[in-house]
Amino acid sequence: MRLALFDLDNTLLGGDSDHAWGDYLCERGFLDAVAYKARNDEFYQDYLAGKLDNDAYLNFCLEVLGRTEMATLDQWHLDYMRDCIEPIVLPKAIELLAKHREAGDKLVIITATNRFVTGPIAQRLGVETLIATECEMVDGRYTGRSTDIPCFREGKVTRLARWLEESGYSLEDSYFYSDSMNDLPLLEQVANPIAVDPDPNLRAEAEKRGWPVISLRD
């Protein structure tokens, strides 16, 4: 069975789920809108430029999980899915997932965004296997810290390698779809790297290497 790996943000979604989560919290008044949004936007620009300090970002974005009751977080996430995620689910992404599913491929979403945010999104997209940045939990509550290797840049390669060993799958004839130059380390590992609505740096790299470039937004 072939592997079909998918980045999530700006690949299967027409936006960034992590950034949208921060915007949702600010717009609903759950966070200091001015201070949080300014910092969130700064981190997002660093991500797009390929210079994100991921440790600093995780400390920033997971802090709210550590000081909020689970029941409240779950309700917020339901509203967030309805208001922020459903509008950016791309019909062509659904078609692409269906194409690989019908071909008998194993679908995996692999994302730097944390599992709290992305778990329900993967379910919405019908993808059972999710490799994401993990949020630490103690006694049934989030601590506001991450655990394990963040699923970002080379960390995606490391986390995937562990999953491959545990699951018995291999990268033979595998696919990976991504929009971001940050995913170059993993794109270099698969048999079929595909740039999806890529950022300028990845577009240039894909053209140089002869990788397919597609759009799910046309």
Average pLDDT over residues 64-68: 95
Which parts of the chain are beta strand (E)? 3-6, 106-114, 129-138, 141-147, 175-178, 192-196, 213-214
Percent of the chain with pLDDT over 90: 86
Residue 57 has pLDDT above 90, yes or no: no
> What is the rounded distance in angstroms from the CA atom of residue 79 to the CA atom of residue 93?
22
pLDDT value of position 127: 99
46 is catalytic: no
Q: Check 7, 105, 179, 183 and give the catalytic one.
A: 7
Q: What is the mean pLDDT of the chain?
A: 96
Task: Record the tokens describing residue 50, joined without a space.
Answer: 């390929």
pLDDT value of position 36: 86
Residue range 112-129, pLDDT digits in tens: 999 999 999 999 999 999
pLDDT value of position 52: 83
pLDDT value of position 33: 84
9 is catalytic: yes
pLDDT value of position 85: 99
pLDDT value of position 49: 84
Task: Record the tokens describing residue 123, joined without a space.
Answer: 């379910």
Query: What angle separates helix 17-27 from helix 33-48, to the nearest 10 degrees?
Result: 170
Q: Check 9, 18, 179, 199 and give the catalytic one.
A: 9
Average pLDDT over residues 75-102: 99
Residue 218 has pLDDT above 80, yes or no: no
Q: Where are the domains of the chain?
A: 3-14+89-214, 17-87
According to CATH, the superfamily of the domain at 17-87 is SG protein - dephosphorylation function (1.20.1440.100)
What is the CATH T-level fold of the domain 3-14+89-214, as seen in this structure?
A: Rossmann fold (3.40.50)
Residue range 11-48, pLDDT digits in tens: 999 999 999 999 999 999 998 888 888 898 898 898 88
> What is the rounded distance in angstroms from the CA atom of residue 133 to the CA atom of residue 130?
10
* Amino acid in position 103: A
